[in-house]
Structure 1
Amino acid sequence: MRDPAAPTGTDAEARSREVLRLPAFALFWSASTIRAFGSAIAGVAFQVLIVTVLNATPLEISILSALGVVPYLFLGLIIGALMDRWRRQRALIITSVARAIVLGSIPVLLLLDALTFWSLAAVILTLGILTLFADSAAQPFLPNIVPRGSLVMANARLGQSETVAGTAGPALGGALLNLLGAPFLFAFDAVINAVAAVLQSRITVEEAVPQRRPEGRHIGHDIVEGMRYTYRHRTLRPLALSIHVWFLANSIVSTVFAVFVLRELDLAPWAFGVALAFGGVGGFLGALFAPRLGMRLGAGRAILLGRALAVVPWLALAVMPLDASSGIGVLLPVVSAAQFVFGLSMGIEDANDTGYRQAVAPDAIQGRMNSTIRTVNRVVFFVGALLTGLLVTFMGYQSTLAIAATVFTIAALIVACSPLRTARHEDAADTNPALRS
């Protein structure tokens, strides 16, 4: 259970610099990091299976892609509510073991020549549900093993390792795929999840005993209570609304960026890969600077800085006179810089955003608060991705990027014009009775 006498001021800053020295967090971070690398590596094998082994049609590919999001849309709020009634460490261990079993089934299906579209769809859907359980347990579990003053640093460390995994993992996965084949990659990821379960089981933590639901109260009441808490809270409400708007803008740029760069600007695939790598570098540096910025500026202003920086790259790409004739000498630096700044913005705001949420909300509602924000984000992203196709069709690439920059600006203005702007991590205890001594 979170220490009610969590350190403040200089003590909190000292503890935040030593977060990886906390045995419980070191185990949690290790499990999260190896799982991130395993997922990035296995992601390459999934793409190869879908395209070359199954020879999936475009419709089938879109169905398989949607299956990874579907659990969040239909089960996100329910599982979030359950995480406030269950022991989260146990949920993390069980989902890691289950993921190991499901991933281990893929090499068996390949060896038996029994892998079909429907069997792979079942695997992807099951993994999506298990990932939802893991995500819903991990965010509210972190404040139980990390002091309040260290939450930003803890999220920054997790963000750094995820960025490195997302950048280096696919390249490593491609190399291993050529050397050892897809069955080995899935078996490797299965072993990684088993190791993660062992690491998670070794975490020493005193979780609060989950309260039983009172008689006459069902899970729907828990979900509504979580939504009311999130959207009525003085600082969480603008934070949640800003995140939702940010996800709408991100759905636009995520959908249009690759097509704009590869088709409209005719940038070579290798150059596109270089630009994405710069985004990874920016994300790593942003997460590296996030704790110090959070301490100096406060949570609200650090989040605002990240939101504001997100406007810059997409506005630049929208207004600059770029086309295929500009040449790689101009296009590569511009596109790489855009990705770097966007990655930097995400690294800065994500650790401060998540850390502040975890510090503000009482433990008993952490699961529902996080699942409320996360589920609405997924719905917004899903709708935004569909609308982007219409925007590009009728307005063109750069006009669509200009709209995205405008939406990013709105996300920043929500923070700037709300009480969240002056919020500080060290003041979170004042709004969270669970943190008061």
Structure 2
Amino acid sequence: MHDDAARPGSGDGDRAREVLRAPAFALFWSATTIRAFGGSIAGVAFQILIVTSLAASPFEIGVLSALSVVPYLFLGVVVGALMDRWRRQRTLIFTSIGRAVVLGAVPVLLLVDALDFWSLAIVILMLGVLTLFADSAAQPFLPHIVPRSSLVMANARLGQSETVAGTAGPALGGALLNLLGAPFLFAFDAAINAVSAVLQSRIRVDEAPPLPRASGRHIGHDIVEGMRYTYRHRTLRPLALSVHIWFLANSIVATVFAVFVLRELNLEPWAFGLALACGGVGGFLGALFAPALGRRLGAGRAILLGRLLVILPWVALAVAPVSAASGLALLLPLISVAQFVYGLSMGIEDANDIGYRQAAAPDAIQGRMNSTIRTMNRVIFFFGALLAGVLATVLGYPLTLGVAAVIFAVAAAVVGLSPLRRARHEDAADLES
């Protein structure tokens, strides 16, 4: 199986089989899924520690939130270049062990009453760096354990489990926090990461060593080569640009949506949570349908479908004549349906987007291509969140959501008016950059 996965085009004529039946992917999926649940559960404890136990100021909360993104801004393309030089499986194992150690230190600090703002900041920063390395290794590693024809299904299965973890994990974490306390949650997440490392170590895969770097070349040359490949490729260029524009719009809605719904529309917290759960259901169903849509429509049209769907909920919220006086009977269905369509769109496009990227790029440049797109997305999200605050202040929340919908439409137009629209997963590796 590993040899087939390494050869572009092998097995492409066969209909994608259920990837969870493949032992290597089953181990990878299991490690990723339990880690996602552990992260969602521990995330509740982090939020409560920051707001209550540490009594952090708004500025300190902002600093702690930014620390999880900072590693991507400063190290993203560097780590991506390293992933084309390092063994990716080994990186995944070491990062899981590293997270287990860092998370295991938190209950110790809590028990000795030594956890303060600075120590928690160090923990969050270290976890951010480890997550960056893990994410940068995981995407280029997947094509080594899954045939190219099954990449969309593999990403869909990962998306489904992560959606369930993101939806159910916080609720479970809140319950466990009340019953057992924060030290137990962090110890539990540390143990989960240790188990994840064991599962990752059992994956049987042959990673070919990278070609030696030519004389006179250094990591800077590798980074530039990755950027040139990404932004000169016939279909990866419009895909990357569309994703960047999508992230700008998403940074706006992610920043203002909760404030708009909870503060201006005065929706009850339980109703807000229910609406978010509908988004999780939509994401799960979108990932479930993504492989079939990718096969039937082609990668480009499946991505375009997701890009078009995401416009609808934000247009609806921008133009709907609702206010705090509208009442729960009107607000809850509107916001729940909007979240469902939002999640559905992401479920459809994510699996096809990532699967196409993994199939289109050679293994030797996978790490750099993915890190180039991922790092630029984080930069855009960072500044988009700042822009969202300005827009909400000047235009108000509904018009700001309308601006986001227009930006989402531009992201769809980039796909619809480019060669990416006609791209298919089975032809990805045959394209010339």
Q: What TM-score, normalized by structure 1, do the two folds share?
A: 0.97
Aligned counterpart for 1:8 among listed residues 12, 27, 35: 12
- The residue identity in structure 1 corresponding to 2:280 is G
Query: What's the CA shift for 1:432?
Result: 7.0
- Equivalent positions of 1:285-304 (< 5 A) are 285-304=285-304
Q: How far apart, CA to CA, are the structure 1 residues paired with 2:211 and 2:93? A: 21
Question: C-alpha separation between the residues in 1 aligned to 2:395 and 2:6?
Answer: 54
Q: 2 CA distance for matches of 1:390 and 1:193?
A: 39
Comparing 290-299 with 17-26, greater Cα deviation is found at: 17-26
| Aligned 8 A contact 1:245 1:407 in 2 | yes
3-state SS, counterpart of residue 6 of structure 2 = coil
CA distance in 1, matches of 2:320, 2:174: 35
Q: Percent identity?
A: 77
Measured against aligned partners, the alpha-carbon deviations of 1:306-360 in whole angstroms (never above 9, x if no partner) come to 0000000000111111111111000000000000000000000000000000000
Query: Is contact 1:231-1:237 (8 Å) kept?
Result: yes
* 2:426 is the counterpart of 1:426: yes
Q: Does 1:82 align with 2:99?
A: no
Distance 1:235 1:118 in 2: 45
TM-score, normalized by length of structure 2? 0.98
Give the whole-Å Cα distance in 2 for the aligned partners of 1:355 and 1:326.
Answer: 42
Q: Does structure 2 retain, via aligned residues, the 8 Å contact 1:87–1:207?
A: yes
Unpaired stretches in structure 1, ≥5 consecutive residues: none
How far apart, in 2, do the equivalents of 1:52 and 1:307 lie? 39
- Equivalent residue pairs, number: 429
Distance 1:432 1:130, change over 3 A: farther
Q: How does 1:109-258 map to 2 (within 5 A)?
A: 109-258=109-258
AA at the equivalent of 1:6: S
Aligned-residue RMSD, C-alpha: 1.0
Runs of 4+ in 1 over 6 A off after TM superposition: none
Secondary structure of 1:321's match? coil
Q: Which runs of 5+ in 2 are unaligned?
A: none
Q: Secondary structure at the match of 1:157?
A: helix
Shift of 1:112: 1.0
Moved more, 364-373 or 43-52: 43-52
Given that 1:260 and 1:397 are in contact with CA atoms closer than 8 Å, whether structure 2 keeps it comes out as yes
Corresponding residue SS for 2:208: coil
Q: 1:31-77 CA deviation, whole Å, 9 max, x = no partner?
A: 00000000000000101111111111111111000000000000000
2: distance between equivalents of 1:47 and 1:261? 20
Question: Where do residues 18-417 of structure 1 align in structure 2 (5 Å cutoff)?
Answer: 18-417=18-417
Q: How far off its partner does 1:216 sit? A: 1.1
Deviates more, 1:325-334 or 1:211-220: 211-220
Give deviations 1:213-254, integer Å, cap 9, x for gaps: 222111110000000000000000000000000000000000
Deviation at 1:208, TM superposition (A): 1.6
C-alpha deviations, 1:264-287, integer Å up to 9, x for none? Answer: 111111100000000000000000
Which residue type is aligned with residue 261 of structure 1? V
Answer whether contact 2:361 2:429 (CA < 8 A) is retained: no
